């Protein structure tokens, strides 16, 4: 565990990989957001043209009023969808600020582990429910470690249900650390 925390480069690369994977997995959300942005701009242009038509006096006022009402309703709906989608994107992706926070948190733990006594380290191992399995491979002893985190301890990001899912599939994310060879 300390080895994984002490190599900050592994953490940075792992977090960057997760960020890229999350952006790729949620690419449809980003495409939809771009589409909404384009529609908002287009409807705003139409609203501006409508104002020009009103000022020129070439069209009956009631037709322009109906069209204006329709455009304003469409813009309100698009802004609402934009806001909802932006909120969901924040939940299913990892921002640079979140990555910076995680890196700082791990650096703090890394620095504290060097100064911790045996009992404190043992409490940390118990808290994280670190488990190991010894195996013999190629006439060598190999130790496989894993950290079991209960559902109450799992981080709130980025394990969420896809915004576009109609079946409620939960998307899980890989560990932030690069895969390493078993300890020998």
Is the pLDDT score of 30 beyond 80? yes
Is the pLDDT score of 183 beyond 70? no
CA distance 5 to 2: 5
Work out the pLDDT band at 7, boundaries 50, 70, 90: low
Is the pLDDT score of 138 beyond 70? yes
Percent over 70 (pLDDT), the chain? 76
Contact 143, 151 (CB under 8 A): no
Give the per-residue SS3 of 152-165.
CCCCCCCCCECCCC
Would you state the pLDDT for residue 59? 78
Query: Domain limits of the chain?
Result: 2-117
CA distance 76 to 80: 6
Would you state the pLDDT for residue 149? 55
The per-residue pLDDT of the chain, averaged, comes to 76
Would you state the pLDDT for residue 141? 83
Would you state the pLDDT for residue 180? 44
**pLDDT for 109-135, tens place per residue?**
777 777 888 888 888 788 878 888 888
Work out the pLDDT band at 38, boundaries 50, 70, 90: very high
Contact 171, 161 (CB under 8 A): yes
Q: Establish how many alpha carbons lie within 13 A of residue 69's alpha carbon, considering only the half-sphere containing its beta carbon.
A: 6
Work out the pLDDT band at 181, boundaries 50, 70, 90: very low
User: Looking at residues 22-40, what average pLDDT do you find?
Assistant: 93
Is the pLDDT score of 2 beyond 60? no
Residue of higher predicted confidence among 43 and 123: 43
Residue of higher predicted confidence among 172 and 26: 26
């Amino acid at each position: 565990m300390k080895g994984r925390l002490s190599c900050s480069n592994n953490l940075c690369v792992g977090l960057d990989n997760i960020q890229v994977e999350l952006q790729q997995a949620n690419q449809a959300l980003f495409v939809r957001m771009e589409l909404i942005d384009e529609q908002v701009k287009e409807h705003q242009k139409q609203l501006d043209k409508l104002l020009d038509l009103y000022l020129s006096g070439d069209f009956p006022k009631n037709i322009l009023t109906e069209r204006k009402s329709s455009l304003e309703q469409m813009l309100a709906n698009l802004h609402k969808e934009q806001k909802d989608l932006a909120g969901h994107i924040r939940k299913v992706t990892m921002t640079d600020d979140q990555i910076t926070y995680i890196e700082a948190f791990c650096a703090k733990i890394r620095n504290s582990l060097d100064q911790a006594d045996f009992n404190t380290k043992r409490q940390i191992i118990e808290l994280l429910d670190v488990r190991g399995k010894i195996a013999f491979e190629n006439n060598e002893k190999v130790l496989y470690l894993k950290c079991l985190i209960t559902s109450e301890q799992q981080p709130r990001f980025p394990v969420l249900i896809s915004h576009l899912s109609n079946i409620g599939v939960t998307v899980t994310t890989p560990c932030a650390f690069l895969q390493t060879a078993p300890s020998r």
